[in-house]
Structure 1
Amino acid sequence: MGTTQLETVPEPKYWHLKTVLSEALDQDFAVGEILPNERELAARFGVARATLRQALEQLELEGRLQRRRGVGTTVAPPRVGVAVGSSGQGWPGESVDGWELVDADGAEAALPSAAVLKLLGGAAVADQPVHTVRRTRVSHGQAVAAELLYVPAASVPGLSAIDGPAGAARGRAVLRELQRLALEGQDRSVELGSARADDAKELDRLPGAPVLVVTTRYFTAAGTAAVSVATYRADTCRLTFGDSGDVEITHEARVAS
């Protein structure tokens, strides 16, 4: 990896350094190879470590680098194309979709955030118990997404007869009862976010790492029956869409799971 003179470059130093580093990744490094430490890289390019970190963070955001616990910063493989569904997709867990059930909380657990409650129907469900199902999406043997699925108790009234303690068995029961409903449709939004501590642990990332947050609402004739908040690794995932390709731009706050 060579050096370059950055003092005369009119654009921000970190942005030019990002370009130089990107070219070096293509020429001098293999996928999975560990980069030199920050001190060595900063000295090699004659920049402050803060400038170097900005460049590395941008390359991570673009999927060129991965920061791994106990390993360091490595060259990332090409992004994996992950389908996030189409207008014809069914209920969560209805078909083989790469998701693995992890756990579920009972309806007596704490209520979801205000943002999720708003998507579920606001005041209409504010005093209702809500089941929370946790799932992980795996692609090529790697966890690429962590999902929280929120299902109001009113959406699965038949669950009471088979209700059990929190865990995977409860999660399967919630999904099974949800699939008994007639799905009328769904809508979906995608936005950039930062990994929370629990998401980072699920996805083998560092807290604050860039992620893509996919929020899906599932509708029946009676209204919203469930809300999914799925956190995808932004460094490894390239989200693809089916026959529903509309893009809606809003300025609302990010849904917090």
Structure 2
Amino acid sequence: MRTESGGPPHRAGEPVRAGVPEHGRIPRYYAVKTELLELIEELGEGTALPAERELAHRHGVSRVTLRQAVCELVLEGKLLRRQGSRTVVAPPKVLQPLALTSYTEGVREQGIEPGRTVITAETLRADPELAADLRIDTDTDAAVVHLERVLLADGERVGLESTYLPQHRFPRLLEEFAPDGSLYAHLREQRGVVFGEAEERIETVLATPREALLIGTNPSVPMILLHRLSWDSDGKPIERVRSLFRGDRFSFVTRLYR
């Protein structure tokens, strides 16, 4: 079925007019992209796409046009490029709740095994902004504990997390905490810390060359950046966290109340 303009039909739940411009002229690559989405549904997760030459012939377009359609689907997380130039149907995105839960808890609820690779575990001096967020007196004790860890989902690198905690509140954290484990579980079970509330800000960015290398992604892939500041039930700061997630592998969800 086609619209009067000759474009793909608009189905309930899709963006208005399924991306068709008001003038009705659809870029050829976008039409191919729509047709590839139907093929992706038929093939299923992990299945390789037919060869580029075959797909270009099947859709009656140049290989340049086909590559543009495939590239957008890769950026959107519908397709994955594998070693050896294979392009396969991507698995569903990891759905992470925007809630006062840890990465470990959110991922494990979906039947995915979380993991972390430790990049940095150190104590350093807080800059004025960080000291203010964590209510650290820079005249007496400006030290913070810094943990930088690559986030894993079923062994796949999906993000990079940098956490800062006031060292005066958690003086022996680096000696007592296994940094490849769940920090929230350690704080809750070993230190009796009760998270009371948090402020979270979300934006989209591109990874720096270092971040892309650590996460193992293409620097052109959009990333989701989360900034979180957490307090305990008494209103005392616990942590400031900067979490960077692959936009092609993660989606975030929350429930809103009036």
Shared fold, TM over 0.5: yes
Contact 1:200 1:209 in 2 (8 A): no
Alignment-derived partner of residue 227 in structure 2:
215
Q: 1:58 aligns with which of 58, 69, 72?
A: 72
The alignment covers a number of residue pairs equal to: 227
DSSP-derived class of the 1:14 partner:
helix
Alignment-derived partner of residue 198 in structure 2:
186
Counting aligned pairs with the same residue, the percent is 23
Instruction: Write out per-residue CA displacement over residues 123-175 of structure 1, whole angstroms, 9 at most, x where no aligned residue.
Output: 9769934332133444445443332212243443x23xx766xxx85777x87
CA RMSD, Structure 1 to Structure 2 (Å): 4.6
Alignment-derived partner of residue 238 in structure 1:
251
TM-score using structure 1 length: 0.62
Cα 1:194–1:93 change in 2 (3 A) is: same
Whole-angstrom CA distance in 1 between matches of 2:146 and 2:220: 23
Q: Which has the higher contact order (CA 8 A, sep 6+)?
A: 1
- 2:122 aligned partner, one-letter code: G
Whole-angstrom CA distance in 2 between matches of 1:59 and 1:67: 10
Whole-angstrom CA distance in 1 between matches of 2:46 and 2:117: 28
TM-score using structure 2 length: 0.62
Shift of 1:15: 2.5
Alignment-derived partner of residue 102 in structure 1:
117
- 1:63 aligned partner, one-letter code: G
Q: Larger C-alpha radius of gyration, 1 or 2?
A: 2
Q: 2:160 aligns with which of 141, 146, 161?
A: 146
Cα 1:92–1:133 change in 2 (3 A) is: farther
Alignment-derived partner of residue 149 in structure 2:
135
- 1:185 aligned partner, one-letter code: E
DSSP-derived class of the 2:149 partner:
strand
Matched, 1:205 2:206: no
Tell which deviates more after alignment, 211-220 or 122-131.
Answer: 122-131
Shift of 1:121: 6.0
- 2:205 aligned partner, one-letter code: G
Alignment-derived partner of residue 22 in structure 1:
37
Tell which deviates more after alignment, 35-44 or 182-191.
Answer: 35-44
Whole-angstrom CA distance in 2 between matches of 1:100 and 1:77: 18
Whole-angstrom CA distance in 2 between matches of 1:95 and 1:145: 14
Whole-angstrom CA distance in 2 between matches of 1:19 and 1:125: 56
Q: 2:238 aligns with which of 225, 229, 240?
A: 225
Whole-angstrom CA distance in 2 between matches of 1:96 and 1:66: 20
Instruction: Write out per-residue CA displacement over residues 66-117 of structure 1, whole angstroms, 9 at most, x where no aligned residue.
Output: 123445322112233333434xx4x7889996653432332238x68x9x84
- Structure 2 unaligned segments of length 5 or more: list them: 1-5, 8-23
Whole-angstrom CA distance in 2 between matches of 1:42 and 1:10: 21
- Structure 1 unaligned segments of length 5 or more: list them: 247-257
DSSP-derived class of the 2:29 partner:
helix
